[in-house]
Amino acid sequence: MSTLQTLDRGLRALEVISQSPNGVSVAELAKELDVHRAICYRIVATLEEHLLVARTEDGRVRLAVGLAVLASRFAPQFHLDARPLLKALANETHATAFISAAEGDSCVAEQVAEPDDQVLTVGYRVGSRHPLTLGAAGIAILALRPEEPGEPEAVRAARRDGYSLTRGELERGAVGVAAGIRVPAGATSVERSVGVVAIEGLDTETAARAVLRTARQLEQLLSA
């Protein structure tokens, strides 16, 4: 049986990109696929249009949240199991809890849970987007990546502590705590973090413990 060459190249491109947490250039991808750079640009543009990959400011290509949407349809158990964990995290910390994913240079909220005992909460909604370098969620994702020269001190601190803590970066008075969600070795997955954010009254030590515990629980779901 013959195969569709263009589709085969697109799937191979996703496999190559998934093995490069820091992204790959179009030139590098073209070399791996053994195709002309112009063809590679069209492959990337098509994948980008379907939100399967995204390009950073320097043009490198990374996996995007569209893959998480596809994964949720074929492996709904993880997303269903994550919901009660996220709700429990929100209620334990009395703060808005979230799972976020990297999309190029942006951090996008995938799931959000509000605490039952709070009337006023941070306006963090599914689809909320901000730079990876701002906010606890993005910094926690960056901390999972290999160390890079000149990276922000907040990323180094998060890598050292196991979680990120930010104050007032995305919204005045907001305090956020987040931890990266590691995926099993060799697995293809979007980079994610889990955390909480509140305007005031957040017990950061309690929040850090709860967030780290939830991150480990979510990692177990991914390994199941």
Tokens coding 141: 């994702």
Of the candidates 125, 115, 104, the one whose C-alpha atom is nearest the C-alpha of residue 51 is 104
- Decide if 62 contacts 56 (C-beta within 8 A): yes
Helices 66-74, 76-93: inter-axial angle, 10-degree rounding:
110
Which portions of the chain are predicted below pLDDT 70?
A: 1-3, 68-78, 118-124, 184-189, 224
Identify the pLDDT of residue 130.
85
How many other C-beta atoms lie within 10 A of the C-beta of residue 114?
16
Identify the pLDDT of residue 185.
61
pTM over 0.85: no
**Phi-psi region at 200: left, alpha or beta (left = phi > 0; alpha = psi -120 to 50):** beta
Total number of residues shown for the chain: 224
Identify the pLDDT of residue 106.
84
Identify the pLDDT of residue 73.
60
Identify the pLDDT of residue 109.
86
Residue 122: strand pairing partners: none
Distance of CA 112 to the CA centre of its chain: 13
**Strands of 175-181's sheet in order across:** 129-131, 106-113, 96-103, 192-198, 175-181, 164-167
Q: Which domains does the chain have, with CATH numbers?
A: 5-64 (1.10.10.10), 68-223 (3.30.450.40)
Whole-angstrom distance, CA of residue 33 vs CA of residue 129: 32
Whole-angstrom distance, CA of residue 182 vs CA of residue 159: 13
Whole-angstrom distance, CA of residue 92 vs CA of residue 105: 31
Of the candidates 40, 23, 20, the one whose C-alpha atom is nearest the C-alpha of residue 31 is 40
